[in-house]
Structure 1
Amino acid sequence: MADNKRRIRFKSIALVEAVIILILTLLLIWAAFIRGRDKAVPANASVKKDIRRRAVIEKEETFYQLDGKKILMNDGTYGEVFVPVYADVPASTINLDELTMRNGYAYYKENGEVVSTTGVDVSEFQGEIDWEQVKQADIDFAFIRVGYRTYGDGIVTYDSAFQRNIEGALDAGIKVGVYFYSQATDADEAIAEADAVIDALADYKITYPVVYDWEIVHDAARTDNVSVEALADCCVAFCERVKDSGYTPMVYQNTGTAMHKLDLPRIKDYDFWLAEYAEKPSYYYDFKIWQYSNTGRVPGIEGDVDLNICFRPYDGKIKETEKNT
């Protein structure tokens, strides 16, 4: 009988202890929650810059359209895939129904009238060019390569045919823009490339843009591991340097790299030159020039050459100098 009473007393004590532990646990959880709420920082509160480093995540809501609009693309592994639409990057206004092909050239019409111009882009790989024949073949403009940075050693090098090509095109009455083939890995290298272009143009008048052409080589290149942020830094650094010198900057890129590698909101203020070899472009965002073929044929140029259409001709808003006036 005494043993039963002791057991009952011990059980009562254990039950009371369990209740006390439960109450203390609940109090601790409640206190932690209240204290955490007091220390929480509102979304619109100011915080130190060295704490908030996830800029892309913070901008995501303003970057993407809230209506859920998507761009459909084809992927070699997954088939049809989608990416959300940037709300603050201008969409293309080109009416694809007004885009036609005739005799290998692309034309764009508005109100029944052709408003586009036709052009080529060339380098030393095209060899000796008869620019008079090119002009007679209804080529309105040409982008001349100024130079390139080697993808192995990273050495800035001038195109061996640059002077011959730019002078030949200008003398033939063809409007000229230029481009630099970049393998920059940071903004300082991109600025050095822009300076090389500006120096090369000192004695010439051009009427089309100065173009930043950064490309992925896929051959153990120095740019293989360039980050999205670093690439955007390079684009901005080059374009701003060019703009400060009085020229119109432009970024050249193919559709895949533009959609998956370029930070488009950061370069949206620069004209865009699209490379997409197809009957009609599928790129969603705004572009001024479309490179639609790398196997074009033009009298005066031996072999294949890139063909381009400019939807709004440039009219001399770019820096002019004394030569070739």
Structure 2
Amino acid sequence: MPPEKRIPNKAPVTRKPGVKKPAVRKPATNKKKKSALSIQLKLFLAGLLLILLSPFYYGYVLRSFVATWRWVKDWGQDPNYRTYESFNIKIPKKYTIHGIDVSYYQGKINWPKVKEMKEDEVSIRFAFIKATEGLLLVDPYFQRNWREAPKSGIICGAYHFFRPKKDGKTQAKFFLQVVNIEKGDLPPVVDIEALDGVSPLKMRAELSDFLNYVELKTKVRPIIYTGLKFYEDYLLNFFDDYPLWIAHYYQPKLRLDKSRWKFWQHSDKAKINGIGHVVDFNAFNGDSLALDRLLVR
């Protein structure tokens, strides 16, 4: 038999085989690179601060702002359509004869002040004055305006606000009972702006009766006033022998053949000396000789 093994007093420690954890390395810090970036950032901020504090920078910003403001203000505008500060509106520069139209809405008017107003050769040469409406309404300021405006040297014309629901010939009689048209006046005007619930055919029939009666009695062909859209929708290719006065606001050009119209109401916000409320502003399509040929003989 083999000799008896000797048992030690302390049993040896048995270790389980284990997996050795790899050493975790912290990423190396590129101190030089970090330092370089920090310096660049500081330089950038310092340069930006110097620019912001520079008077040249503020001058550049101001000039840019002014240029941008002018561009926005005049964007899409014709260079011949400029703002007149005293009138507080833009006025087409291609027209040399200008005028207004008024009613009770403007209240009591100081016509000498209206006549005296002038800026860059723009002045009030003519005025259309509301006289009547429908079958019964007389403008409360008509007689005063019709009397005082010519005294100041302003050429005047009277207009009737037409109601298509009412008989056209009767409206014409009513208009001529109120208005005494004389030599040197502008032709009488019929203002047609709405259908008032009747058909376009009915409107045109009544309007035709009005025009025919006024022309028969005065021997003067009346002017038709209307808005551009109303004209295009309901009057285009009708009444072509009558002078047109077209409303088309805040535009450098009237979108209508120049041979078709005589007057253009291009703004309803003009400020005029002697008038306490904003006023419609108009341009005449022609020179002084053309205006004179249009007047009642």
TM range (shorter): 0.5 to 0.7
* 2:228 corresponds to 1:228: no
Q: Residue type matched to 2:139 in 1?
A: D
**Whole-angstrom distance in 2 between the partners of 1:235 and 1:98:** 39
Q: Residue type matched to 2:291 in 1?
A: Y
- Equivalent position SS for 1:164: helix
What is the deviation of 1:234? Answer: 2.5
Report the TM-score when normalising by structure 1. Answer: 0.58
> How well do the aligned residues superpose, as a CA RMSD in angstroms?
2.3
* 2:110 corresponds to 1:139: no
C-alpha deviations, 1:70-122, integer Å up to 9, x for none? Answer: xxxxxxxxxxxxxxxxxxxxxxxxxx97953351363454xxxxx53111000
Q: Residue type matched to 1:192 in 2?
A: T
**Whole-angstrom distance in 2 between the partners of 1:167 and 1:161:** 10
C-alpha deviations, 1:275-318, integer Å up to 9, x for none? Answer: 01122244334211110111111101111110000112521654
Structure 1 vs Structure 2: percent identity of aligned residues? 28
1:190 maps to: 168
1:305 maps to: 279
1:209 maps to: 187
Q: Count the aligned residue pairs.
A: 206
**Whole-angstrom distance in 1 between the partners of 2:184 and 2:206:** 23
- Which structure 2 segments of 5+ residues have no match? 1-76, 118-122
**Whole-angstrom distance in 2 between the partners of 1:250 and 1:192:** 18
**Whole-angstrom distance in 2 between the partners of 1:214 and 1:146:** 14
**Whole-angstrom distance in 2 between the partners of 1:117 and 1:268:** 24
- Regions of 4+ moved over 3 Å: 96-102, 203-206, 316-320
C-alpha deviations, 1:204-252, integer Å up to 9, x for none? Answer: 4442121111222xxxxxx532111122223322222222212231111
Q: Pick the structure with greater CA Rg.
A: 2
Matches within 5 A, 1:1-325: 100-103=81-84, 104=89, 106-109=91-94, 116-137=96-117, 138-149=123-134, 155-185=135-165, 189-202=167-180, 204-216=182-194, 223-244=195-216, 245-262=218-235, 264-285=236-257, 286-312=260-286, 313-315=290-292, 317-319=294-296
Q: Is the 8 A contact 2:158 2:189 kept in 1?
A: yes
Report the TM-score when normalising by structure 2. Answer: 0.63
- Which structure 1 segments of 5+ residues have no match? 1-95, 110-114, 150-154, 217-222, 321-325
Change (3 A) 1:162 1:204: farther
Q: Residue type matched to 2:106 in 1?
A: Q
Change (3 A) 1:311 1:203: closer
**Whole-angstrom distance in 1 between the partners of 2:282 and 2:263:** 7
Change (3 A) 1:99 1:205: farther
**Whole-angstrom distance in 1 between the partners of 2:253 and 2:136:** 32
